[in-house]
Structure 1
Amino acid sequence: MNLQSLFQDFNPSKFIVHTCLLIFTALFALRIDNYLTWSYWCIFTPIWVWKILVILGAAVGSYVWWRYPHFRMEGEAYIHYKSMLISLALHLILLMFELLVCDKLESNRHLWILVFIPLIFISIVSIAVCIWAVKHDRSFELELFCAVNVLQFIFLALRLDGFIAWSWEVVLVPLWIVMCLSLVGVLYTIIFAGILLRTPEVNAQQRRSSFQTAVGYTFLVIPILIFQVLLANKLDDDIKMSFTAVVSPLFVSFVTLILMSFSAKGGNKWWFGMRKDFCSFVLGACPLLQEYANIAYSSERRTNGVEMQQQADKSDPRNLKKADMFKPVLPIVSIEMPD
């Protein structure tokens, strides 16, 4: 067991986001099926927690940025900090959309097209953000999702307000296109992993990495596609299922995303002013973890340090003579018996 190797590629931002979305999806489905009678403001609690952490993390990071000017000279600190501010702005606009959705579900006093205006605005702005992220080698998963689904958001708003009377299978056409492209990507990863498994020149680490990627994307995309099919049929009254059963495939995708966050790497180092990887920050901030958790355990039987060093020296041909010269000598003690 090596806790450092477990957390050295851990991405806490993705872990928090996917965990909050998993809990929110379960609560929302139970609320629609009337298994829960809570208000929607309580149902959206995981979303509020997510946004509070984003705002708090950006506030602490900004304080550290302005309080310690010499930190700005560390590598690409300016790019990281600017990326954090861009992400904060997008999350604030997304928070406005979520507040409008919650108020619409509670009071029903707005048109859905007005509720979706912040989300449509994010989708348009995300195109420019994606270009900036590619230029500066930054991740842009949320921005890419919003950018490719701008037409889908418009269709959803118009269908919910009754301005169009299309079936839900037609309304979700933009998502069908995205899912088809995703399936092509999954098929590519599976074929690529199969080729690497049959290539003797490839080392075991590359084979294992490609296999894990193929399995991860398969368990991510296929459940989402199943959920989309079930949702379209449910909304068109073609099947009789509860919404909890309809969204159940999404739980598989969210669990997959949570597991993948332990090997996602990346992440902005200015959230909460950490300025370093999450594992290094935690070990540095908690002396007890640095003392006891940052240890690799092995079940192998090892010799003591002197014997290991002697074996290493003897195994090197250049040190054969040197090893013979410094062989340990057993002391001989002469003991004279008294008469």
Structure 2
Amino acid sequence: MNLKNIFRDFNPSKFLVFTSLLVFSLLFALRLDDTIQWSYWVVFLPIWIWKLMVVLGALTGSYIWWKNPHYRVEGNNYVQFKAMVICTGMHLLLLMFEILACDNLESQHNRHPWILVFIPLMCMSVISIGICVWAVKNDRSFELELFSSVNILQFIFFALRLDNTIDWSWVIVFIPIWIVMCTAMIGVLYAIILAIILVKSPDIIPEQRRGNISSAIGYAFLVIPLLIFEILLTNRLDGDNHIKYTAITVPLFISLITLICLAFGAKGGNCWWFGIRKDFCQFLLGVCPFLQEYGNISYSLQNDDTDPEENIVETAKVDMCQSKKHHISDQPRAVVPVISIETPD
């Protein structure tokens, strides 16, 4: 475990999103089971915090962008800022859907038709197709946009089923999700088989071998519990079982916790959120210098081949801060002659 690499590859945006979804899923399941009687506006509080952080980050970044025109010509700042604006627009559409859905759930009778509630999601799905093309051209990540674009048909089915316009069983309504999950399962099987093959290959360095194994395990803990959750949910909605929603969402919690853990190695992120203009790790270390003491410490388990009686030796090594080396002056030093003290005769 190397704390320096964990901090360096940390993606704060994904950590915020997945943590908010985890807390919201727990509160929403408890509310559906009547374990808590809170208002839906309170249950959606993690979602509101998530969207508030997005809006504040975008406003702060935009203020710094317009106040300092010289930042616009540095590197790929223009692409980064444009990506932040696009992401903010997508989150605002998502926020409109969440407000309408929360208002419908709070009212005793559906105040708005569900097809109207899902219109922001449908618009977001259509726009996401063009955003995905732009992201590929500019080498940007597009997880939210890809998720929205491939589920446009699912959103339509959900709205029609909730309005009782169609009386299909929920297993049929979830057909678009089953197609997506089958594709994801094929990807998981491919990752597992590839990891097994590379483990036996002598030409692969240990770091790549460990990376492939970690990816396969991470994808398996993400996709398989999510598929189990969807199967249990459809059976619950169709009345085939009477399991509590809290128990049904346990596999979903496993998937979300996996995503939170993967956020520590996701890298990426946009440097213009809140106008920090640098990697989040560098910004955090600048604000809290005492974290450098912990970020420069790594722990490793190494095999000792010289001693056959000990297979694994636990060692701890401290990485010296390399930034101190850059501050050493390159000017020539004064040469002082050696003074020798001779003993008198």
Structure 1-normalised TM-score?
Answer: 0.87
In the other structure, the counterpart of 2:6 is: 6
Larger radius of gyration between Structure 1 and Structure 2 = 1
In the other structure, the counterpart of 2:296 is: 295
2:201 alignment partner, one of 199, 202, 208: 199
Letter in 2 for 1:200: P
Matches within 5 A, 1:166-181: 166-181=168-183
Deviation track 1:216-268 (CA, whole Å, cap 9, x = no partner) reads 00000000100111011100100120111111100000000000000000011
CA contact (8 A) 2:298 2:316 kept: no
Residue correspondences, number: 307
In the other structure, the counterpart of 1:110 is: 112
Q: Does 1:162 align with 2:164?
A: yes
| Alpha-carbon spacing, 1:110–1:208, altered in 2? closer, same or farther (3 Å) | same
Runs of 4+ more than 4 Å apart = 297-302, 331-336
Letter in 1 for 2:257: V
In the other structure, the counterpart of 2:90 is: 90
Partner of 2:242: helix, strand, or coil? coil
In the other structure, the counterpart of 1:229 is: 231
**Larger mean Cα displacement after TM superposition, 110-119 or 60-69:** 60-69
In the other structure, the counterpart of 1:68 is: 68
Percent pairwise identity: 57
- The CA deviation at 1:301 is 8.6
Letter in 1 for 2:223: V
| Alpha-carbon spacing, 1:300–1:260, altered in 2? closer, same or farther (3 Å) | closer
> Between Structure 1 and Structure 2, which shows a larger proportion of helix residues?
1
- The CA deviation at 1:67 is 1.4
In the other structure, the counterpart of 1:147 is: 149
Matches within 5 A, 1:236-255: 236-255=238-257
- The CA deviation at 1:284 is 1.6
Letter in 2 for 1:256: T
Query: For residues 151 and 300 of structure 1, what CA distance do their matches in structure 2 show?
Result: 53
In the other structure, the counterpart of 2:135 is: 133
Letter in 1 for 2:92: L
Query: For residues 152 and 137 of structure 1, what CA distance do their matches in structure 2 show?
Result: 28
| Alpha-carbon spacing, 1:33–1:194, altered in 2? closer, same or farther (3 Å) | same
CA contact (8 A) 1:4 1:279 kept: no
| Alpha-carbon spacing, 1:223–1:160, altered in 2? closer, same or farther (3 Å) | same
Letter in 1 for 2:294: A
Unpaired runs of 5+ in structure 1?
Answer: 303-330
Query: For residues 300 and 220 of structure 1, what CA distance do their matches in structure 2 show?
Result: 32
Query: For residues 219 and 89 of structure 1, what CA distance do their matches in structure 2 show?
Result: 31
